[in-house]
Structure 1
């Protein structure tokens, strides 16, 4: 037998064998009713344990492909191509072989625990319910009548909302643009997905920050891209690192989160911003600027976006209302060259025929009202209060056990363990104590880090949450 299972593959050996046998049956090498090699014989040929072959045959039996009877061996189902025997699709095979890779198992575990259990949640990157502008939305729905068109809207998004976004980004972000260069998306992540799928091809090299939220996204690997890391220090990424990656790997795109970066909370230094834009112009490297947090600046001063400084059309700008209004509203937008926006709008139309009109109407009303600026002012105050509670609690309960930099905006605090402790095992123990955080390995290459999101728990929960975390950490000392 020429075929052998691949022991370096992440897929279990028994599944590889089952799929190999199924292919042989489909190709006609094993006909209906024919006897398959005995477990002992096949195990010897493939150099695997007999129990592995047993598991493979059992997989095939469960799918109705083979029959097994003690004393007579394993046979291909006599009616495999007939109608008298119904076969269940091998859904496990479909689940494992889709082109879009699943999220990291640890990320899925955190999500499941925080959804299903009463747990103090420092893991989920969103606002707590009390920070949503719920009263405004209730008032809006009671006082105004929606009389918009409920059919398919423009692929780029509702025109009225895009006009409002033009005014909004000019006032808050100093970005000059027009409606034809804007597309409404289902949050920032859809925008990134569209960019990866439509503007890049398998084998392309891209640069992402380390650590960063993008580090955790499987969509880069699903698209067959080669990702290279840009270390983040207290002033953000270094322009010389971008140049080095370009010279070595000819990176075709750079993904940056310059303001209160997720997860470190750092702000890209103004001088570095200028240097990065100069590099982009010199080498023709597109920059994807993800800016969900700049409005949360606790001082009220909003840093210049790369897009507002861009003189050459090098930057595609992405933001959303997810982190500053409500995650469930699912409203974001991107701003870029008109040809890029046209391409991405065409792709979005293929996926969902355009964004739902009703949340666009709600977002339009809110962004164009005085209530938006009032909400942002209140949000900054409350986020700063939560950050201060977190910092005070960590200093009280953890002391010198962790090191962290206090962020001046955003919703995340990035902490490093000062002892050699596996943060994944620490998470398991923390969950047992009723608190969750994000282990650093989901977001970056360096071990021993953790992200605490202070926007998600209620203010009254923060001190108790860190107390529980300290109890879990104590078990590793």
Structure 2
């Protein structure tokens, strides 16, 4: 049987092609697609994917109608001295290194317990591919569309938010991170204060600082941000913008309690401020029924609503929407123009096709089951191999388990030791806008196969013995 979706099979074919290119001579013909199919027991699509990769690496010269040949080596070029660039560019942007390390692709032998995306087996790639194919056949999808995005897609996001948001209030962005950058530029000026939950999404901290904002933390717990401390922070700092994740907050998984929602809205209203609601985890609830977005309770336009599909569908679906009523909505659309004008038409067309099809609901039924299995597998592994770290209350949704480490553990050393055991984890320090009260780890419950968690946590427990 062919295994078109198995990346390991592509790697196996690619490994042979690389060996042949290394040991052969330029111009030697490589085995045909048919030969490689028979040798590796894979499909022609898998072989062609491996050949394309080898061609991109400069190892193979593909000649249509003739076959594939070992490419001539590239001519050696003099060693360049690029050291002058460090002087010319000066210090790097704040948060750049942390985000890069979080998004780095691990080795094929590592078990990844740090991913912020769902595992490939949970992604509805067949339905997405069909939607994208249909979109590509629509001539209008290739034309320049409105800067704010397709009206039908904006309307869908507005309906999902509930409350008083309408299609005209929404702007389509190429993912949640660009939407955050747009919001911080559009709603604040360099030097302004940005309040954030503590801990919070490190990408929001980085985007705020990159926009020249002074990021100030407000303590949060399992029930979300504390309204009394939020009100104090507004009064003390004069802030006019507060970023929060009311549903399954990244990294700690907290959900804003029903008893706190009205007080949080009141704190913003009293301060004449905006709440930037990042609803990134809508669709990732495992237990129970999720509360509606905070935007659904907003009367006077204090909530700026952000919803991305990247985390809940697939990393390649870089589509999000940000919405606000009144002048704030106009400011967001203006700031959006400075990014990349508009999101690609075929991607928008494929998105509205997918989210309005039966495949959308089927995906979330399967996703909930898959996350439930993975969460329980991770918690069981923690109780077996690291019982002193296992949380007493499992997260009700989201993609992460937030672990507080013993005070004497150096989390950076632990992350390094875990990497030596071929398990990738991420420390807690970058998720705090100020000093971290204790060392932490953020482990993923969605980014790895269900049967890998026991081995991954076993490797992590070995790392503990070395720090």
TM range (shorter): 0.7 to 0.9
CA contact (8 A) 1:401 1:419 kept: no
TM-superposition CA deviations, 1:199-241 (whole Å, max 9, x none): 2112211210111114773232232222211111121111111
Query: Please, which of 117, 125, 134 is the counterpart of residue 126 of structure 1?
Result: 117
How far apart are 1:401 and its partner, in Å?
Answer: 4.4
Which residue of 2 is the match for residue 322 of structure 1? 310
How far apart are 1:120 and its partner, in Å?
Answer: 1.1
**Residues of 2 paired with 1:468 and 1:88: CA distance?**
39
Paired residues for 1:78-477 under 5 Å: 90-97=84-91, 100-104=93-97, 106-112=98-104, 114-141=105-132, 145-167=137-159, 169=160, 173-214=161-202, 217-401=205-389, 403=391, 405-444=393-432, 445-476=436-467
CA contact (8 A) 2:389 2:403 kept: no
**Residues of 1 paired with 2:410 and 2:246: CA distance?**
29
Instruction: Report the TM-score when normalising by structure 2.
Output: 0.77
How far apart are 1:389 and its partner, in Å?
Answer: 0.5
Two-structure CA RMSD over aligned residues (Å) = 2.2
How far apart are 1:116 and its partner, in Å?
Answer: 4.4
How far apart are 1:403 and its partner, in Å?
Answer: 4.3
SS of 2:304's equivalent in the other structure is strand
**Residues of 1 paired with 2:398 and 2:292: CA distance?**
15
CA contact (8 A) 1:404 1:415 kept: no
- Higher mean displacement: 136-145 or 419-428: 136-145
CA contact (8 A) 2:428 2:439 kept: yes
Shift of the 110–161 alpha-carbon distance from structure 1 to 2, 3 Å rule, reads closer
CA contact (8 A) 1:208 1:215 kept: no
- Higher mean displacement: 450-459 or 140-149: 140-149
How far apart are 1:196 and its partner, in Å?
Answer: 1.3
Decide which structure has the larger Cα Rg and report it. Answer: 1
Shift of the 371–300 alpha-carbon distance from structure 1 to 2, 3 Å rule, reads farther
**Residues of 1 paired with 2:180 and 2:222: CA distance?**
25
**Residues of 1 paired with 2:101 and 2:219: CA distance?**
27
**Residues of 2 paired with 1:350 and 1:107: CA distance?**
22
Unaligned runs of 5+ in 2: 1-80
CA contact (8 A) 2:177 2:203 kept: no
How far apart are 1:420 and its partner, in Å?
Answer: 1.3
Unaligned runs of 5+ in 1: 1-86
**Residues of 1 paired with 2:266 and 2:334: CA distance?**
31
CA contact (8 A) 2:164 2:299 kept: no
Instruction: Report the TM-score when normalising by structure 1.
Output: 0.76
**Residues of 1 paired with 2:216 and 2:284: CA distance?**
29
Which residue of 2 is the match for residue 12 of structure 1? none
**Residues of 1 paired with 2:225 and 2:86: CA distance?**
41
Which residue of 2 is the match for residue 64 of structure 1? none
TM-superposition CA deviations, 1:59-115 (whole Å, max 9, x none): xxxxxxxxxxxxxxxxxxxxxxxxxxxx979311244346x43524x5534544x34
**Residues of 2 paired with 1:174 and 1:327: CA distance?**
25
CA contact (8 A) 1:239 1:276 kept: yes
